[in-house]
Structure 1
Amino acid sequence: MTLPDGRTVTRWTFGSAEGVTAEVLSLGARLQALRAPDRQGRQANIVLGCESADDLLGAASYFGATVGRYANRIADGALPLGGTVRRLATQPNGHTLHGGPDGFATRLWDGVAVREGRRAGVRLRLHSPDGDQGFPGALTVEVTYLLDPAGELRIGYRATTDAPTVVNLTNHAYFNLAGEGDGTVLDHLLQVEGDHYTPVDGELIPLGPFEAVAGTPFDLTEPALIGGRVHEDHPQVRLAGGGFDHNWVLRGEGLRRAAVLSHPASGRRVECLTTEPGLQVYTGNHFDGSLAGRSARPYPAHAGIALETQHFPDSPNRPEYPSTVLRPGEEYRSTTVYRFSAA
């Protein structure tokens, strides 16, 4: 793949022909494809993605990408830090989303194939200069994808800075366990290990306090049919455009289970583990069929679901939320694991 300015995008492919195989692109340190067997051993790509450079720099820029410097939203592009308020680059709605309009998803990362024991994959690096999209401090970022023969994909993030800044990185893959371009995820089951979530306003900025999921469509403490929940008449579901686009407050600390997504028809299942305090679940509410993926089939509403491990949205403006500040001499570290199986 070649970008409009003539630069070449590198692709790495690793995994097992009979098991799980991953493709990663240097553009956006992006998980471009992930092939996994169903209960009959039939392979399918289970993440949404496009092959056009124009799409990957435009409407599909977040698909599978490493997003940052700050994943999710920062209200009004306002970053209070060190007694002053920095003005960040914003999207047309006036807020900063996923690091700004020219965030990490649109950058070419440097990468090298790596192997650690039985795991194989790729390590990608990016330098984000001081003032990039308005963020202070020069940031050096590293993302490592490692896949083992059992079908466990481990994504490790590291970052250092030369001045105080904020960091919140995630992967923005959209899963469809039936197969990329094969209908919607409304027939999938989802469980999330969280008893609370962060309600939002009409622009999807957190209101602040956590709210219990009990008695709401957000109660995913047991596996629930996605189609049954996103069609419930609840004000928060309506605000998100007919589905989820919300952060769950995860139980516990350290690397632990955050969610389980399964597709009964194919038997495919993915267990998500993370060291992060939150999980943003987005059910592709605003897909409208105008974008077609690698299958050449258009993506309708709910064509995929993103499970974005993260710190909470707008944390820099919410001192009661876990801090996302990174200072010189410190190292940002985060791990997310996706375990794939079929039964």
Structure 2
Amino acid sequence: MRVLQEWFGAIGNRSVTSYTILNDHGIEVSCIDYGCIITKIITPDRNGDFENIVLGYGSLEEYMDNSSYFGCVVGRVAGRIGGASFELEGKTYSLAKNDNNNHLHGGINGFSRVVWDASVFENEEEAAVQFKYISPDGEEGYPGNVEMQVTYTLNNHNELIIHYCGQSDKTTLLNVTNHSYFNLSGNLKRDVLNHTLAIKSDKFFPLNGELLPTGEITDVADTPFDFRGGRVIKTGIESGHPQNELAGKGYDHPFLLSANRDHEMVLCDPESGRTLTVETDEPGVVVYSGNQLADDGEIRGVPSRKYLGICLETQGIPDAIHHPHFPSWILEKGEVYDSITKYKFSITQL
């Protein structure tokens, strides 16, 4: 296995490098050190055709101009924080308001709009790119100097493993995820409306008009949020359910996982046969069906439009700092934040 490196662009006098990890079965994962962005994932369909299965761009400028978070690592806190403020250890912290009155995905720059330091590791069975970034005390309004490390490892079992590790010198908040948009049709030939998704989850979190969790934790039974037996994505978009309508005719909702590291999520495109299995040690996943994607511009030559990709954002539950009954993402001084999500690429035959 090996990692190829090439120049991708520059920000001022800082070069941005693209890294392509290749395994022995022809699978490729490409990423850049700007925002730890995954730019391409190449996998075969049931006919042996290798194509890209994530939304992304071919230039650094397009990533810098786009606000849809294609493929990047978001943090310090993924999702929204209501009112762009929180209280921790008796002190109130004010954050950037970059989503109306709220704070979204770590703020103006967060982890997704900075250049990380990168190093490469290779052996016969796996290869990896490890990214490191020190987020200084007060960055985006958060307390503590946070030493953050994100490692993308591709192995010969056709698995991409993302390992997040962080430590702070002050008690702070940390809840990190990858924001890749998957489209298993290959090279964006179709949207994801006919993809099927299965999730091991009995509960989801309803949203209010600002797309913040209301605080309720609701049973998925007899709703379009019941993915336990598998569900075609478009059945939620077309359901007319108030929560689907609220999110822009689709999904942008957190789910509480009922299992970990046990095939919790399975996404499949029946036409191509491509199947993605996601396992994590995070308590939840935010399913976002691309409802807000702009209907202008192009993504690698394909017209941008709603539902062109689906995100499976493994993470803690958004706005948990304002809901004590949600799983906490407070990171105590000196503690280690450690989280792994694994993506397994396979093919379902007819």
TMscore range, shorter length: over 0.9
Q: Give the match for residue 328 of structure 1.
A: 333
Post-superposition offset of 1:84:
1.9
CA contact 1:35–1:46 (8 Å) conserved in 2: yes
Alignment match, 1:259: 265
Q: 1:129 aligns with which of 111, 132, 136?
A: 136
Aligned twin of 1:275: 281
Superposition map of 1:182-221 within 5 A? 182-221=189-228
Inter-partner Cα distance in structure 2 for 1:95 and 1:174: 23
Cα distance per residue 1:29-83 (max 9 Å; x no partner) = 1111100000111000000001232321232551110100000111011121001
Deviation at 1:181, TM superposition (A): 2.6
**Which secondary structure state, in structure 1, belongs to the residue aligned with residue 15 of structure 2?**
coil
Deviations 1:7-44 (A, max 9, x none): 32111111236432100100101111100000111000
Alpha carbons of structure 1 residues 61 and 121: separation in structure 2 relative to 1, 3 Å: farther
Whether the 8 Å CA contact 1:189–1:261 is kept in 2: the answer is: yes
| Count of residue correspondences | 341
Matching residue within 315, 321, 324 for 1:316: 321
TM-score normalised per structure 1? 0.96
Q: Which moved further from structure 2: 95-104 or 17-26?
A: 17-26
Match of 1:55 among 51, 58, 62: 62
TM-score (norm 2): 0.94
- Equivalent residue runs for 1:1-343 within 5 Å: 1-16=8-23, 18-60=25-67, 62-115=69-122, 118-253=125-260, 255-294=261-300, 296-343=301-348
Secondary structure at the aligned position of 2:215 is classed as: coil
- Report the Cα distance in structure 2 between the residues aligned to 1:322 and 1:242, rounded to whole angstroms: 28
- Give the percent of matched residue pairs that are identical in Structure 1 and Structure 2: 38
In structure 1, what is the Cα distance between the partners aligned to 2:10 and 2:295? 24
Distance 1:76 1:116, change over 3 A: farther
Equivalent pair of 1:29/1:65 in contact (CA under 8 Å): yes
Matches of 1:320 and 1:310, distance apart in 2: 16
Whole-angstrom distance in 1 between the partners of 2:175 and 2:264: 17
Q: Give the CA RMSD over aligned residues.
A: 1.4
2:3 aligned partner: none
SS in 2 for 1:8: strand
Unmatched runs of 5 consecutive residues or more in structure 2: 1-7
Q: 2:29 is paired with a residue of what secondary structure? A: strand
Report the AA paired with residue 175 of structure 2: N
* Distance change (3 Å), C-alpha of 1:45 and 1:17: farther
The letter of the residue matching 1:309 is T
Q: 1:16 to 1:115 in 2, by over 3 A?
A: closer
How big is each residue's C-alpha offset from its partner over 1:72-122, in whole Å with a ceiling of 9 and x where there is no partner?
111011121001221111214011110012111101000011136611120
SS state of the match for residue 245, structure 2? Answer: helix
8 Å Cα contact 1:152/1:337 also seen in 2: yes
- Structure-1 residue corresponding to 2:5: none
State the alpha-carbon separation in 1 of the partners of residues 115 and 183 from structure 2: 26
